[in-house]
Amino acid sequence: MAPEKLSGAASKWSNPLKQKLARGEPVIGLVISVNNVEVAAHGAGLGFDFLWIEMEHAPIALETVRNIVLATRGLPAVPLARPPVNELWMAKRLLDAGVLGVIFPFTRTPELARQAVAACRYPPAGLRGSGADLAQARWPAPEGYYDFADENVLVVAVVEDTTGLSHIDEIAATPGIDVLFIGTSDLSFSLGLRGSQEDPRLDEAVARIASAAKRHGKILGRPGRSPEEIKAFQKQGFQFFMTGTELDLMSAGATNLLSPLGRKRWTPDSIGL
């Protein structure tokens, strides 16, 4: 997916995620949760629009992120990463490793929303440092990497607690935020629902965030675990979907294969633990 030249002239490459979102189309991502470049490269060619490299809840280090970025060169899925914290230095290192978007967890205040944008833009629009040699090697843009990055890096703000909910209008109004992603599981916990996705109070919170996103022209995102869920959420205005992990796909594939043969998934009870 490197920028190309057409008919002897340099052409500008545009992030296909941003293109699809601008056209009102959905984008669907696979979560990479294991420290395995082969798995990530395989996942990048399965039909997903992006890889969600999970560093908040999985033991993936920066070196692995870089290897995934290199291993997926030329494959369709765009590499994004979720760091464990919303910090300038963390986002900078991920972008310099070559991801084309950062998913900022627990964006609970307008200050954190502005910090997320600043981390992903070069001065004067932001605070990103200029040492991007590795990223330039991954994205050798004809117009130069700095202009390329400012136009193509995707900024995703995750709203997933009641503090973020209370500031949602200010967060949604932040210039430079591309996607407001609703972390429905953590939001449920923050509401005192212990992860339940069926409670009306969660539905009300999601609707409040969705309303703010639409009011301020932000793309809406949320988890979508099945084709039926994704289609239903699309009708509600959502476009950016995080599906399960590569391990979820492995489990589903094993169940589809083995259940008709009378095989069951292992549980601690099966060996008396």
| For residue 11, pLDDT beyond 80 | no
CA atoms of 60 and 195, how far apart (whole Å): 24
CATH class of 15-246: alpha beta
Say which DSSP state 125 is in: T
Whether residue 174 has pLDDT greater than 60: yes
Using alpha carbons, list the distances in angstroms from residue 141 to 73, 133, 144: 14, 12, 5
When pLDDT is cut at 50, 70 and 90, the band that residue 9 belongs to is very low
Give the span between the Cα atoms of 17 and 67, in whole angstroms. 21
* Active-site residue, selected from the candidate residues 42, 57, 167, 216: 57
Share of the chain above pLDDT 70, in %: 95
Answer whether residue 25 shows pLDDT above 70. Answer: yes
The residue extents of the domains of the chain are 15-246
Which single residue is written with the structure tokens 């605070």?
127
From the list 170, 165, 198, 200, the residue with the least C-alpha distance to 182 is 165
Q: Using CA atoms, how far apart are residues 206 and 185, in angstroms rounded to an integer?
A: 11
**What is the b/e burial string over 119-142, where b = at least 16 CB atoms within 10 angstroms of the residue's CB?**
bbbbeeebbbeeebeebbebbebe
User: Quick check: 79 and 68 in contact, CB under 8 A?
Assistant: yes
Q: Are 63 and 98 in contact (CB under 8 A)?
A: no
Q: Which residue has the higher pLDDT, 5 or 56?
A: 56
Residue 269 has a pLDDT of: 75
167 part of the active site: no
